[in-house]
Structure 1
């Protein structure tokens, strides 16, 4: 859990509705209930059933972790399990993620959780982080801290202002989605790192790449994120596979060559 549930269930549901910028009429139409009933639930005049809580939180796109919190606030048991990534129940998920990471070589790819903690990575990531301060590579590794910290990749990122603005925007979006106080703290930490805030990509580029100095080379990489859309376990719901792709042929060739080079 990200926080202790202390507020009434109706207050939580209203907060989630307001966070999604929906009126009571909007939500009642989506959830197929009357506006009067929804108003009674939010003000505490009516106690929602667990089925009603799940229907409303689904329509509000509340993450599974927070849906459990709303259920607890209503006096009900959590509906969604949370297994460790190494649990037998998640064996097939681990197998699928490892297949994606391995297949993506020689390009970098990482598996992260909702707080950008690195849970797994392929060897190309290690090659990309050569020279990063040791303390940033001690588990648990946070990939945003690793990227933007002055002892991390930041000094080698040519377009640091643009990339920093992009990553901070991602964190703000996830804070809005989840309301997670741990993410609020992470966002505050990252904002304190130097690096500028140039937000707009150059007009000639269709995606914003991270331009990373690697020895005498300059790598240009963009990212594609993948999630498990049908997750019913909290851990799986929060997993993201972040895959880096070359934005130009010179980068592709450099990564292919580095992938074939013997490791020292």
Structure 2
């Protein structure tokens, strides 16, 4: 068993288990045998490029996982994994900013897989203006969510905390950087008491309620998405978060704030 076969086997085993499949289940999907899948996972057999393509399709793998399979098997991947500061990635970010963020009237952001804010529209910058230090760029949205300043502005923290916690736990399971943030959040007590919260009568949407200007109460949630045709592992790991007002009063307040900010910027 060589080092590459071992790395491929461990990756395949992990992907199979994540999907709750036995070796026999996966073999059935691949038109192979449980014995051959076992050999692949233990490094006793080396996969063909065709087999990787079958695994990729049957497990509906994201680009990043497919990239790892090809790489650990010793094949050139058909997918790219560009550096985040490469011209191609920056061009893609510019496209998202111009075509999506700039046309969304409410706060919107492009985040990398660690929730670092790579791009934001004008309402987004205004939304975070009181929660981030402009000298420490780029800011991290999870750190903003868990900061004392942001938490103090949340009027329904007990209802909103499980939403933030669920996202943080989910992302931290796949990224060591966010795992460190999760540890800090737990140590500081920000996530204390989540198990005691009654969730039996949870509504369809649980908006985050934020103290707005003049004593107003902003009720917002967010849409989180990705572009469907992405063929690059770095871009695939990025998400687009678009804030959505949950009632007419919140919408009017956010739109008014955005217009005022735009007017102030134009006057400078």
Same fold (TM over 0.5): yes
**What is the CA–CA distance in structure 2 between the aligned matches of 1:174 and 1:40, rounded to whole Å?**
31
Unaligned runs of 5+ in 2: none
Instruction: Describe how 1:18-167 pairs up with structure 2 within 5 A.
Output: 18-84=17-83, 87-90=86-89, 91=91, 94-105=94-105, 107-134=106-133, 138-151=136-149, 153-167=150-164
| Conserved 8 A contact 1:114-1:239 | yes
Which residues in structure 2 correspond to 1:162-241 (within 5 Å)? 162-175=159-172, 179-193=174-188, 194=190, 196=192, 197=194, 198=197, 200=199, 203=202, 205-215=203-213, 216-241=215-240
Higher mean displacement: 180-189 or 119-128: 180-189
Q: Structure 1 CA distance, aligned partners of 2:231 and 2:124?
A: 29
User: How many angstroms does 1:256 deviate by?
Assistant: 1.5
Q: Scaled by the length of structure 1, what TM-score is found? A: 0.83
**Unaligned regions of 5+ residues in structure 1, if any?**
none
CA shift for structure 1 position 89:
3.3
The structure-2 alpha-carbon separation of the partners of 1:103 and 1:232, relative to structure 1 and needing over 3 Å to count, comes to: same
- The 8 Å contact of residues 6 and 41 in structure 2, kept in 1 or not, is answered as no
Q: How many positions carry a matched residue from both structures?
A: 254
**Cα distance change of structure 1 residues 22 and 183 upon mapping to structure 2, 3 Å threshold:** farther
The structure with the largest alpha-carbon Rg is: 2
Structure 1 distance, partners of 2:18, 2:204, is: 31
* Alignment RMSD (CA, Å): 2.7
Secondary structure (helix, strand or coil) at the match of 1:8 reads: helix
Query: Match of 2:205, SS?
Result: coil
Deviations 1:97-147 (A, max 9, x none): 422111112x11111111111110111122222322527x72221101111
Question: TM-score of the superposition, structure 2-length normalised?
Answer: 0.82
